[in-house]
Protein backbone atom coordinates (compact mmCIF):
# COMPACT_ATOMS: atom_id res chain seq x y z
CA UNK A 1 0.00 0.00 0.00
CA UNK A 2 1.79 3.10 -1.13
CA UNK A 3 1.80 6.05 1.22
CA UNK A 4 0.64 8.91 -0.89
CA UNK A 5 1.09 12.62 -0.79
CA UNK A 6 -1.78 14.31 0.96
CA UNK A 7 -4.58 15.95 -0.93
CA UNK A 8 -4.88 18.64 1.72
CA UNK A 9 -6.96 20.98 -0.33
CA UNK A 10 -9.70 18.53 -1.28
CA UNK A 11 -9.71 16.85 2.10
CA UNK A 12 -10.06 20.14 3.86
CA UNK A 13 -13.08 20.91 1.74
CA UNK A 14 -14.60 17.50 2.48
CA UNK A 15 -14.05 17.85 6.21
CA UNK A 16 -15.61 21.30 6.21
CA UNK A 17 -18.57 19.91 4.31
CA UNK A 18 -18.98 17.08 6.79
CA UNK A 19 -19.20 19.61 9.59
CA UNK A 20 -21.87 21.56 7.71
CA UNK A 21 -23.91 18.60 6.57
CA UNK A 22 -24.04 15.91 9.24
CA UNK A 23 -24.50 12.42 7.87
CA UNK A 24 -26.99 10.64 10.11
CA UNK A 25 -27.15 6.93 10.88
CA UNK A 26 -29.34 5.22 8.29
CA UNK A 27 -30.94 1.81 7.83
CA UNK A 28 -30.93 1.22 4.07
CA UNK A 29 -32.92 -2.00 4.33
CA UNK A 30 -33.85 -4.24 7.28
CA UNK A 31 -30.51 -5.31 8.78
CA UNK A 32 -28.37 -3.00 6.62
CA UNK A 33 -27.12 -0.13 8.76
CA UNK A 34 -24.75 2.71 7.81
CA UNK A 35 -23.07 4.55 10.69
CA UNK A 36 -21.08 7.44 9.20
CA UNK A 37 -17.93 8.51 11.06
CA UNK A 38 -18.16 5.65 13.53
CA UNK A 39 -14.38 5.47 13.98
CA UNK A 40 -12.77 8.65 15.25
CA UNK A 41 -9.55 9.94 13.68
CA UNK A 42 -7.34 8.21 16.26
CA UNK A 43 -8.90 4.80 15.67
CA UNK A 44 -8.72 5.31 11.90
CA UNK A 45 -4.99 6.02 12.18
CA UNK A 46 -4.50 2.99 14.39
CA UNK A 47 -6.32 0.72 11.93
CA UNK A 48 -4.34 2.10 8.98
CA UNK A 49 -1.17 1.17 10.89
CA UNK A 50 -2.50 -2.33 11.58
CA UNK A 51 -3.46 -2.76 7.91
CA UNK A 52 0.11 -1.89 6.93
CA UNK A 53 1.45 -4.59 9.22
CA UNK A 54 -1.13 -7.17 8.04
CA UNK A 55 -0.19 -6.35 4.43
CA UNK A 56 3.46 -7.13 5.15
CA UNK A 57 2.90 -10.87 5.49
CA UNK A 58 3.03 -13.81 5.90
CA UNK A 59 0.67 -13.69 2.92
CA UNK A 60 1.23 -10.87 0.41
CA UNK A 61 -1.51 -8.55 -0.79
CA UNK A 62 -2.57 -9.73 -4.20
CA UNK A 63 -5.11 -9.13 -6.93
CA UNK A 64 -7.42 -12.14 -6.89
CA UNK A 65 -7.71 -14.11 -10.13
CA UNK A 66 -11.28 -15.13 -10.85
CA UNK A 67 -12.22 -18.51 -12.32
CA UNK A 68 -13.36 -16.77 -15.53
CA UNK A 69 -9.82 -15.49 -16.10
CA UNK A 70 -10.47 -11.94 -14.92
CA UNK A 71 -8.29 -10.28 -12.31
CA UNK A 72 -9.79 -8.10 -9.60
CA UNK A 73 -8.62 -4.48 -9.56
CA UNK A 74 -8.71 -4.51 -5.76
CA UNK A 75 -5.74 -6.00 -3.90
CA UNK A 76 -6.47 -7.94 -0.77
CA UNK A 77 -5.10 -9.98 2.09
CA UNK A 78 -7.00 -12.12 4.58
CA UNK A 79 -6.65 -12.89 8.27
CA UNK A 80 -7.97 -15.97 10.02
CA UNK A 81 -9.17 -17.62 6.84
CA UNK A 82 -7.79 -16.90 3.36
CA UNK A 83 -10.58 -15.97 0.97
CA UNK A 84 -10.32 -17.13 -2.59
CA UNK A 85 -13.10 -17.56 -5.09
CA UNK A 86 -15.26 -19.19 -3.89
CA UNK A 87 -14.01 -20.76 -0.68
CA UNK A 88 -11.93 -20.19 2.43
CA UNK A 89 -8.65 -21.94 3.18
CA UNK A 90 -6.15 -21.89 6.06
CA UNK A 91 -3.36 -21.51 3.53
CA UNK A 92 -2.88 -18.96 0.77
CA UNK A 93 -3.27 -21.55 -1.98
CA UNK A 94 -3.25 -19.05 -4.85
CA UNK A 95 -0.29 -16.99 -3.65
CA UNK A 96 2.71 -18.81 -2.19
CA UNK A 97 0.84 -21.24 0.05
CA UNK A 98 1.83 -19.69 3.41
CA UNK A 99 -0.35 -20.24 6.46
CA UNK A 100 -2.75 -17.35 6.99
CA UNK A 101 -2.08 -15.04 9.94
CA UNK A 102 -4.39 -15.72 12.88
CA UNK A 103 -7.51 -13.63 13.27
CA UNK A 104 -6.49 -10.84 15.67
CA UNK A 105 -8.37 -10.35 18.95
CA UNK A 106 -8.50 -6.62 18.30
CA UNK A 107 -10.77 -7.28 15.29
CA UNK A 108 -13.01 -9.62 17.28
CA UNK A 109 -13.56 -6.89 19.85
CA UNK A 110 -14.05 -4.26 17.17
CA UNK A 111 -16.57 -6.51 15.40
CA UNK A 112 -18.62 -6.99 18.58
CA UNK A 113 -18.56 -3.25 19.22
CA UNK A 114 -19.67 -2.61 15.62
CA UNK A 115 -22.55 -5.10 15.74
CA UNK A 116 -23.62 -3.68 19.08
CA UNK A 117 -23.65 -0.18 17.58
CA UNK A 118 -25.76 -1.43 14.67
CA UNK A 119 -28.13 -3.91 16.36
CA UNK A 120 -27.70 -3.63 20.12
CA UNK A 121 -25.82 -5.43 22.92
CA UNK A 122 -27.38 -8.91 22.57
CA UNK A 123 -26.42 -9.31 18.92
CA UNK A 124 -23.07 -7.63 19.64
CA UNK A 125 -22.03 -10.06 22.36
CA UNK A 126 -22.94 -13.09 20.20
CA UNK A 127 -20.78 -12.03 17.26
CA UNK A 128 -17.66 -14.19 16.81
CA UNK A 129 -15.97 -13.13 13.56
CA UNK A 130 -13.07 -15.37 12.52
CA UNK A 131 -12.10 -14.00 9.10
CA UNK A 132 -11.13 -10.53 7.92
CA UNK A 133 -10.55 -9.31 4.38
CA UNK A 134 -8.41 -6.22 3.99
CA UNK A 135 -9.08 -4.64 0.60
CA UNK A 136 -6.91 -1.92 -0.90
CA UNK A 137 -8.35 0.26 -3.69
CA UNK A 138 -6.17 2.56 -5.76
CA UNK A 139 -7.92 5.42 -7.58
CA UNK A 140 -9.03 3.14 -10.43
CA UNK A 141 -10.11 0.11 -8.43
CA UNK A 142 -13.69 -1.06 -8.05
CA UNK A 143 -15.58 -4.20 -7.10
CA UNK A 144 -18.42 -5.75 -9.09
CA UNK A 145 -21.78 -6.65 -7.58
CA UNK A 146 -21.53 -9.88 -5.57
CA UNK A 147 -22.84 -11.65 -2.49
CA UNK A 148 -20.63 -12.61 0.45
CA UNK A 149 -21.73 -16.20 0.63
CA UNK A 150 -18.76 -18.43 1.35
CA UNK A 151 -19.71 -18.40 5.04
CA UNK A 152 -21.80 -21.23 6.49
CA UNK A 153 -23.65 -19.13 9.06
CA UNK A 154 -25.62 -15.97 8.55
CA UNK A 155 -23.92 -13.78 11.17
CA UNK A 156 -23.63 -10.19 9.91
CA UNK A 157 -20.79 -8.79 7.82
CA UNK A 158 -19.06 -5.75 9.36
CA UNK A 159 -17.45 -3.32 6.91
CA UNK A 160 -15.09 -0.51 7.93
CA UNK A 161 -13.80 2.08 5.47
CA UNK A 162 -10.56 4.08 5.73
CA UNK A 163 -8.94 6.74 3.53
CA UNK A 164 -10.48 7.74 0.22
CA UNK A 165 -14.28 7.61 0.09
CA UNK A 166 -16.15 5.50 -2.44
CA UNK A 167 -19.57 5.05 -3.96
CA UNK A 168 -20.90 1.79 -2.56
CA UNK A 169 -23.87 0.11 -4.20
CA UNK A 170 -26.16 -1.89 -1.95
CA UNK A 171 -28.62 -4.00 -3.87
CA UNK A 172 -31.18 -6.68 -3.20
CA UNK A 173 -30.89 -10.35 -2.24
CA UNK A 174 -32.33 -11.72 -5.52
CA UNK A 175 -29.93 -10.61 -8.23
CA UNK A 176 -27.33 -7.97 -9.13
CA UNK A 177 -29.89 -5.71 -10.75
CA UNK A 178 -32.18 -3.00 -9.38
CA UNK A 179 -33.44 -2.11 -6.86
CA UNK A 180 -30.23 -0.80 -5.34
CA UNK A 181 -29.12 2.20 -3.33
CA UNK A 182 -25.87 4.10 -3.80
CA UNK A 183 -24.25 5.40 -0.66
CA UNK A 184 -20.96 7.18 -0.07
CA UNK A 185 -18.69 5.32 2.36
CA UNK A 186 -16.11 7.70 3.79
CA UNK A 187 -13.15 7.22 6.12
CA UNK A 188 -14.33 5.99 9.51
CA UNK A 189 -17.73 4.78 8.27
CA UNK A 190 -19.21 1.53 9.51
CA UNK A 191 -21.62 -0.49 7.42
CA UNK A 192 -23.18 -3.66 8.84
CA UNK A 193 -25.34 -6.02 6.81
CA UNK A 194 -27.04 -8.97 8.39
CA UNK A 195 -30.46 -10.49 9.01
CA UNK A 196 -32.69 -10.17 5.94
CA UNK A 197 -29.91 -8.16 4.20
CA UNK A 198 -27.09 -10.62 4.87
CA UNK A 199 -27.03 -11.98 1.33
CA UNK A 200 -27.73 -8.74 -0.51
CA UNK A 201 -25.64 -8.08 -3.61
CA UNK A 202 -23.23 -5.19 -3.18
CA UNK A 203 -20.21 -3.62 -4.83
CA UNK A 204 -17.99 -0.56 -5.14
CA UNK A 205 -18.68 1.57 -8.21
CA UNK A 206 -15.74 3.92 -7.87
CA UNK A 207 -13.47 5.58 -5.37
CA UNK A 208 -13.61 9.35 -4.98
CA UNK A 209 -9.94 10.38 -5.25
CA UNK A 210 -8.83 13.31 -3.13
CA UNK A 211 -11.32 12.66 -0.33
CA UNK A 212 -9.03 10.94 2.20
CA UNK A 213 -8.91 12.94 5.43
CA UNK A 214 -5.69 14.65 6.27
CA UNK A 215 -3.72 13.16 9.10
CA UNK A 216 -4.47 9.46 8.82
CA UNK A 217 -1.27 8.92 6.88
CA UNK A 218 -2.93 7.25 3.96
CA UNK A 219 -4.32 8.03 0.55
CA UNK A 220 -6.19 5.34 -1.37
CA UNK A 221 -9.02 3.35 0.10
CA UNK A 222 -8.87 0.53 2.63
CA UNK A 223 -11.87 -1.57 3.51
CA UNK A 224 -11.90 -4.17 6.25
CA UNK A 225 -14.74 -6.70 6.29
CA UNK A 226 -15.23 -9.05 9.21
CA UNK A 227 -17.10 -12.31 8.76
CA UNK A 228 -18.06 -15.29 10.85
CA UNK A 229 -17.36 -18.28 8.61
CA UNK A 230 -18.93 -21.06 10.67
CA UNK A 231 -16.05 -23.26 9.52
CA UNK A 232 -14.76 -23.85 13.06
Ligand X SMILES: O=C(O)CCC(=O)C(=O)O
Residues annotated as binding site?
Answer: 146, 148, 202
- Collapse the DSSP code of 144 into the 3-class scheme (helix H, G, I; strand E, B; otherwise coil) and give the result: strand
By beta-carbon proximity to ligand X, the closer residue of 8 and 87 is 87
By beta-carbon proximity to ligand X, the closer residue of 7 and 160 is 160
* Residue 48 binding partner per list Fe ion, ligand X, none, with a CB distance cut-off of 5 to 8 Å that depends on partner kind: none
* Residue 123 binding partner per list ligand X, Fe ion, none, with a CB distance cut-off of 5 to 8 Å that depends on partner kind: none
Report if residue 225 touches ligand X, rule: CB under 6 A: yes
Residues whose CB is less than 8 angstroms from the CB of residue 53 and which lie 6 or more positions away in sequence, other chains included? none
How far apart are alpha carbons 158 and 143 in whole angstroms? Answer: 17
Per CB under 5 A, which of residues 146..175 are in contact with Fe ion? Answer: 148
Report if residue 46 touches Fe ion, rule: CB under 5 A: no
Report if residue 155 touches ligand X, rule: CB under 6 A: no
Contact between 137 and 180 under an 8 Å Cβ cutoff? The reply is no
Per CB under 6 A, which of residues 191..210 are in contact with ligand X? Answer: 202, 204
Binding ligand X (rule: CB under 6 A), the pick from 44, 164, 211, 223 is 223
> Residue 39 has what DSSP assignment?
S
DSSP class per residue in 104-144: PHHHHHHHHHHHHHHH-HHHHHH----EEEEEEE-TT--EE
* Residue, CB closest to ligand X: 223
- Residues lying near ligand X in the complex (CB under 6 A) are found at 133, 135, 143, 148, 159, 168, 185, 202, 204, 223, 225
Amino acid sequence: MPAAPGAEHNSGVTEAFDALIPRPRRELAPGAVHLPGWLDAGRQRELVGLCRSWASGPVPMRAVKMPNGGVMSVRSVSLGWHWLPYRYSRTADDVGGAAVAPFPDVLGDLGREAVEAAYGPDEGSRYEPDAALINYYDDAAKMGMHQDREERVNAPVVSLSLGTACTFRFGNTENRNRPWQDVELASGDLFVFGGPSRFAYHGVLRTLPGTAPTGIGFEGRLNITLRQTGLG
